[in-house]
Structure 1
Amino acid sequence: MESINCSFDNLRELVDGHYAPRGLLIIVLCVTVLVVLTLHLKAVSEPRALADPIPFIFNTIQFVTDNERFMHRVSKALEKANSARFYLGWKEVYLLAGPRNIQTIFGRLHDKIGNEDIMVRSVLPNLYRMSKDEVKRFADDHSGRGRLPAPGTENITADQRYWRAYEHYHTEYLVRTNHLKPMIEFFRCQFSSALERRYPVDEWTTISVMDLCRSEITECAISTLFGPSIFELNPGLLDAFWAFDANLFTLTLGFPAWLNPRPYRIRDRYYAMIGKYLDAAWSKFDWNGPSAEVFWEPLFGARVCREIVKWLKDDGFQAEAAAGALGMLLMAQNSNSIPTTMWMIMEITKDPSLLQAIRDEVATAHKTDLETGALMIDSDKLVTLPLLQSVFTEVLRMHINFNIIRHVKEPIAMKGFVIGKGSMLQVPMLVPHYDESVWGVEGHPAKEFWAGRHLKYVEDTDESGSVSRKLAYSMAGRSNSFFPFGGGQFICPGRHFAKYEILTTIALVVSKFDIEFIEWTKLDGSPSDRPARNDARYCGAGAMPPDRDMKIRWKRIS
């Protein structure tokens, strides 16, 4: 208001001093009033801005260095309205919540919003290590990811549709059942054998849940995706992977290497190992032999790996980009699934009644191998078990935490305001996942884990016509408040394998072992006076691992 008063004072001086014709001054006065009213109406109609004590700087620094505190402020703001805004550097960011806004973002606006901007600015050069010329190929491609080019880009040739190819190779070879099933079966065999080799029958062993997940389970998952030779070539791969995982958020933000070189050194060490595996597989693989069409083989591992590499090499991308693509594929496979597995084991183990209920339910998914007579797990039935699915969903709801990011390519109208081209949208997962009005149940607030939150009783009629009540998994009416894998056109293609992998792990653990909880420990191994919480250091980066470890003792049963 001070600046507006100054403007009127200046006009008064002009009139009183006869410095300009009165008619012109009246016009200027009217225009000034119109501008002031327009700015006022814009401020009223737009989402409320987050407080920024040092404009453009404070919120940016807090977003980067203390994301947990920043997101706490965002949650408070979005409790009062379903939208807010702030500046991340010089970029205007709109924060959106509420089922209606989320449905809009994931639905009809796919031609006006996308994630290509952040991919081009940060992910492709920093995480895929693409050269400027390689990144430019993606930047110049406006044809979209759909089967048909976007309107106005119909003349683009198929080999120039880089976004479409990126989408195709990840979706085709990670989602389709004929590619998914061999990966699941290989993982089951690998992990089952690893448990039997390490833990003798009827011997109690004390272990760390975190160590189990970050070592044996991760190694089996990587061997499933890349084949076992990657560990023969790189004995230190697990350490390099988890170091890279810890620095992924910093690398994604794209700060230059001269400002903070350590994350880039960690990245380069990790990618050098991926490159070593890639060189060995490429040199030995027979592209004209029978292995070219199989779903899994020991050199490249799962078919998705060799198909992505072949696409990039055939299109003239450098070896660094191919290693970057596979390094990020490996990261996508494990960065969220391993912490989720930790939480599931911890939640199930600390509650003996839940452990027994899960064990009983998993037993209904056992089957006998017709050739060997061995007891096996029916994976398709396993992933439909209601209690197991409910625990899985509850862990995802409570521990997956990142902002879904979209770049606005064309102005879009939201309820009561318009978001301009070039703005950024962020949908904070933390807000809907903890919404008390959606998830809260008497005695079981949304902030607390409850294994039965996603269960209901339904009537079941058997062949004789008898009616009984049975438990069923249900997410009815809450899908727009739960999106741990993203949503819409950009939903994670690896979500199906992640679910199978995690639930297979839980099934093997509860089936093969008697398990007893011992204690919670700090990450250094010393006793803890409290259970695990989300590790705040990973806020905004995906799955938040526990900030405490759990010691258990278990005995493999015959």
Structure 2
Amino acid sequence: MGSLSNSTSPLPLALNADEQWSSKLLATCGLAAITFIAVSSWLSSSKEPPSLWDKVPFVSNTLQFLTNNELFMKRTIKLLEGRNLAKFWLGPIKFYLITGPQNMQTLFGRGNRVGNEDIFVHNVFPVLYKMPKEHVQRFADDKSGRGKVPAPGFEKVPQEKRFWASYEHVHTEYLARTAYLKPVIEVFRGIFSDVLEHNFKVGESNTISVIGFCKHEVTESAMKTLLGPTIFELNPTFLDAFWEFDDNVFMLTLGFPKWLYSRPYKAHDRYLGMIENYAKSAKAKFDWDGPQRDSPWEPHFGARVCREIAKWFTEADFLDQSVSGALGALLFAQNSNTIPTTMWMILELARDPVLLKAVKEEVATTEFIDSETGQRSFDIQKLATLPLLQSVFTETLRLRMNFNIIRQVKEPFTVDGFTLKKGSMLQAPMMVAHHDEAVWGSTGHPASVFWAERHIKYLEDTDDFGNVTQKRTFAMAGRPSSYFPFGGGPPVCPGRHFSKHEIMTTVGLMVSKFEFESIEWTQLDGSPSDRMASSDQRYCGAGAMPPDRDMKIRWKRIW
């Protein structure tokens, strides 16, 4: 849900360049370099915020950060108790951990004090987009910013040289605007509805795996919506290639040499090769001057955002492999966070019959009979504003999204009396903000536990006959500055609206069309489990954490 091509790339993706730098520096300079850095750090410690203890300086925290991020984050939370700033080292790179509502406002503000452009230049573009150095340099040389109005001092930069602004525009314009969003979500509704109606007959009972259903039927429907059906017509095994890439993306971004560990590179090549087949076919078959040139969705490219990305990258003279890389990153971002979130929402509903009944009743208020087709349907826009469904969605993201937002200081600013200099690296730990008991805790419902009604308030409502009832309203339990599953600031995830509507539509169709109940919790291999699902901590720090247990549900389609 978080968009990889913008602000919410999984944490390891933002660290690859630093990992390589760390490894090269330590290997080349050895103990002398470590000693020099350690002494320098000690001499400046009186002017610095508290540090996360490093048993072996510049090594222990780095290894734990990468191999046991859950434990690392628990130590971070403890260190930040009662303060808003601390520091730690990843190899020789000093990071400041920053938290607190006011500091988040600074971090996400539009004052051009922080940014993530260098992270993209050193990592995302060369690794995921396979962009050659000379093309990456175009972005590195562009200091005019992402906004429509150039940054101060760069007003004379020609529009064709404003690569960041064009890159930002092509994503935000065609992913976020209602004119393009609404028709594409209707396409998704149609595709997913057809899957449900084709695979499950009215009145028949079936048993499904929640994770399996989401990884196949839901994911394929989402992919056909974003890229169009051609991706599967040209590449019948594309879904397998995607999940193989998903399994290997972490190792890919760590930067191990291909000769040492080739599997991630092969998975990436296979995935992007299939997308390149699709992109070349779409560019050749699409009539760029025809009646569909302004269509929000058509079968060759799918959603207009894909067409516009391919068009801009091509016209700006980037390589075909960079076009494929951009589309592949967009598709990965769409599904890597959206699908686990969908899994969790279904699991929470299925394990709680009372909650499921309440959500079904709420979704029913959006249903209507289509005057043209005579078929039963529901209003997607109204669905997305339902109080209880929104609360379940918000609570799921609060608990299951887990990564550190990384920014670099562009203009100095002060936190807790410490001045953060230009070039300083920042991390805003989502786990610290999202699990803050003072912000999210409620009597009987600690912040660490899912509570469907955490973001619900009850207001009195009087009907025409004078009867007073309690009406649910959606009201976030905490401050927006303590909740940022989509990142924040000018590079906030532009796909957040698309993701929300896709998830809501998926859940809405399932609870509306089916009666279902939980049968049992299972291990991921299908064998029985002795407990319910928890967040899979292997994904801690990398985005949406999927469930570490599956559930079998029995359902019957009712219409």
Q: TM-score, normalised by structure 1?
A: 0.90
Structure 1 residues 107-506: aligned runs within 5 Å: 107-108=109-110, 110-460=111-461, 468-475=469-476, 477-506=478-507
Q: Is the 8 A contact 1:91 1:423 kept in 2?
A: no
What secondary structure sits across from 1:79 in the alignment?
coil
Percentage of identical aligned residues: 60
Extract unaligned runs of 5+ from structure 2. 1-39
User: Which amino acid counterpart does residue 430 of structure 1 have in structure 2?
Assistant: M
Structure 1 residues 59-74: aligned runs within 5 Å: 59-74=61-76
Q: Is the 8 A contact 1:461 1:467 kept in 2?
A: yes
**2: distance between equivalents of 1:522 and 1:200?**
28
Question: In structure 2, which of residues 55, 58, 77 is the aligned counterpart of residue 56 of structure 1?
Answer: 58
Question: In structure 1, which of residues 63, 76, 84 is the aligned counterpart of residue 86 of structure 2?
Answer: 84
Instruction: Decide whether aligned partners of structure 1 residues 473 and 462 sit closer, same or farther in structure 2, where only a CA change above 3 A counts.
Output: same
Instruction: Decide whether aligned partners of structure 1 residues 151 and 444 sit closer, same or farther in structure 2, where only a CA change above 3 A counts.
Output: same
**2: distance between equivalents of 1:276 and 1:39?**
51
Q: Which moved more, 1:39-48 or 1:254-263?
A: 39-48
CA shift digits 1:378-437 (9 cap, x unpaired) = 011101100000000110011000000101223322221011222210001011111111
What secondary structure sits across from 2:385 in the alignment?
coil
**2: distance between equivalents of 1:403 and 1:252?**
16
Q: Is the 8 A contact 1:300 1:306 kept in 2?
A: yes
User: Which amino acid counterpart does residue 427 of structure 2 have in structure 1?
Assistant: Q
Instruction: Decide whether aligned partners of structure 1 residues 57 and 40 sit closer, same or farther in structure 2, where only a CA change above 3 A counts.
Output: closer
Q: Which residue does 1:11 correspond to in 2?
A: none
**2: distance between equivalents of 1:540 and 1:248?**
14
Q: Is the 8 A contact 1:194 1:216 kept in 2?
A: yes
User: Which amino acid counterpart does residue 200 of structure 2 have in structure 1?
Assistant: Y
User: Which amino acid counterpart does residue 61 of structure 1 have in structure 2?
Assistant: L
**1: distance between equivalents of 2:246 and 2:79?**
30
User: Which amino acid counterpart does residue 59 of structure 1 have in structure 2?
Assistant: N
User: Which amino acid counterpart does residue 133 of structure 2 have in structure 1?
Assistant: K
**2: distance between equivalents of 1:373 and 1:75?**
55
User: Which amino acid counterpart does residue 76 of structure 1 have in structure 2?
Assistant: K
**2: distance between equivalents of 1:43 and 1:133?**
40
User: Which amino acid counterpart does residue 48 of structure 1 have in structure 2?
Assistant: P
What secondary structure sits across from 2:381 in the alignment?
helix
**Superposed displacement of residue 182, structure 1:** 0.9
Q: Which residue does 1:18 correspond to in 2?
A: none
**2: distance between equivalents of 1:130 and 1:465?**
66
**2: distance between equivalents of 1:85 and 1:79?**
13
**2: distance between equivalents of 1:444 and 1:43?**
40
**Superposed displacement of residue 79, structure 1:** 2.1
Aligned length: 520
Q: Which moved more, 1:521-530 or 1:459-468?
A: 459-468
What secondary structure sits across from 1:470 in the alignment?
strand
Instruction: Decide whether aligned partners of structure 1 residues 382 and 39 sit closer, same or farther in structure 2, where only a CA change above 3 A counts.
Output: closer
**Superposed displacement of residue 252, structure 1:** 3.5
**1: distance between equivalents of 2:41 and 2:344?**
49
Q: Is the 8 A contact 1:390 1:473 kept in 2?
A: yes
**Superposed displacement of residue 250, structure 1:** 3.3
**1: distance between equivalents of 2:138 and 2:180?**
29
User: Which amino acid counterpart does residue 100 of structure 1 have in structure 2?
Assistant: Q
Q: Is the 8 A contact 1:46 1:416 kept in 2?
A: no
What secondary structure sits across from 2:451 in the alignment?
coil
What secondary structure sits across from 1:336 in the alignment?
helix
Q: Is the 8 A contact 1:171 1:493 kept in 2?
A: yes
Instruction: Decide whether aligned partners of structure 1 residues 72 and 258 sit closer, same or farther in structure 2, where only a CA change above 3 A counts.
Output: farther
Instruction: Decide whether aligned partners of structure 1 residues 41 and 89 sit closer, same or farther in structure 2, where only a CA change above 3 A counts.
Output: closer
User: Which amino acid counterpart does residue 554 of structure 1 have in structure 2?
Assistant: W
Instruction: Decide whether aligned partners of structure 1 residues 427 and 214 sit closer, same or farther in structure 2, where only a CA change above 3 A counts.
Output: same
User: Which amino acid counterpart does residue 227 of structure 1 have in structure 2?
Assistant: G
**Superposed displacement of residue 537, structure 1:** 1.3
**1: distance between equivalents of 2:270 and 2:322?**
15
**1: distance between equivalents of 2:251 and 2:165?**
28
CA shift digits 1:184-239 (9 cap, x unpaired) = 00000111110010011211111100010000000000000011111111111111
What secondary structure sits across from 1:418 in the alignment?
strand
**Superposed displacement of residue 464, structure 1:** 7.6
**Superposed displacement of residue 254, structure 1:** 3.9
Q: Is the 8 A contact 1:122 1:254 kept in 2?
A: no
Q: Which residue does 2:105 correspond to in 1?
A: 103
**2: distance between equivalents of 1:167 and 1:467?**
49
**Superposed displacement of residue 457, structure 1:** 1.1
**Superposed displacement of residue 477, structure 1:** 4.8
Q: Is the 8 A contact 1:339 1:544 kept in 2?
A: yes
CA shift digits 1:91-126 (9 cap, x unpaired) = 110011121221221125x41210101100010000
**1: distance between equivalents of 2:330 and 2:313?**
14
What secondary structure sits across from 1:71 in the alignment?
helix
**1: distance between equivalents of 2:432 and 2:463?**
42
**Superposed displacement of residue 504, structure 1:** 0.7
**Superposed displacement of residue 256, structure 1:** 3.9
Q: Which residue does 2:17 correspond to in 1?
A: none
What secondary structure sits across from 1:517 in the alignment?
strand
User: Which amino acid counterpart does residue 74 of structure 1 have in structure 2?
Assistant: T
**1: distance between equivalents of 2:454 and 2:92?**
42
**Superposed displacement of residue 285, structure 1:** 1.0
What secondary structure sits across from 1:292 in the alignment?
coil
**2: distance between equivalents of 1:111 and 1:254?**
30
Q: Is the 8 A contact 1:45 1:416 kept in 2?
A: no
Instruction: Decide whether aligned partners of structure 1 residues 301 and 103 sit closer, same or farther in structure 2, where only a CA change above 3 A counts.
Output: same
**2: distance between equivalents of 1:129 and 1:402?**
24
Q: Is the 8 A contact 1:247 1:263 kept in 2?
A: yes
Q: Which residue does 2:48 correspond to in 1?
A: 46
**Superposed displacement of residue 522, structure 1:** 0.7
What secondary structure sits across from 1:488 in the alignment?
coil
**2: distance between equivalents of 1:476 and 1:511?**
28
**1: distance between equivalents of 2:258 and 2:404?**
24
What secondary structure sits across from 1:231 in the alignment?
helix
What secondary structure sits across from 2:293 in the alignment?
helix
What secondary structure sits across from 1:526 in the alignment?
coil
**1: distance between equivalents of 2:161 and 2:275?**
27
**Superposed displacement of residue 463, structure 1:** 6.6
**2: distance between equivalents of 1:248 and 1:159?**
32
**Superposed displacement of residue 46, structure 1:** 2.3
**2: distance between equivalents of 1:57 and 1:420?**
24
RMSD over aligned Cα atoms: 1.7
Q: Which residue does 1:547 correspond to in 2?
A: 548
Q: Which moved more, 1:247-256 or 1:298-307?
A: 247-256
What secondary structure sits across from 2:206 in the alignment?
strand
Extract unaligned runs of 5+ from structure 1. 1-37
What secondary structure sits across from 1:172 in the alignment?
helix
What secondary structure sits across from 1:111 in the alignment?
coil
Q: Is the 8 A contact 2:286 2:300 kept in 1?
A: yes
**2: distance between equivalents of 1:437 and 1:387?**
23
Q: Is the 8 A contact 2:245 2:271 kept in 1?
A: yes
Q: TM-score, normalised by structure 2?
A: 0.90
CA shift digits 1:243-266 (9 cap, x unpaired) = 222233333444443443221211
CA shift digits 1:344-370 (9 cap, x unpaired) = 000000011111111000000112212
Q: Which moved more, 1:332-341 or 1:454-463?
A: 454-463
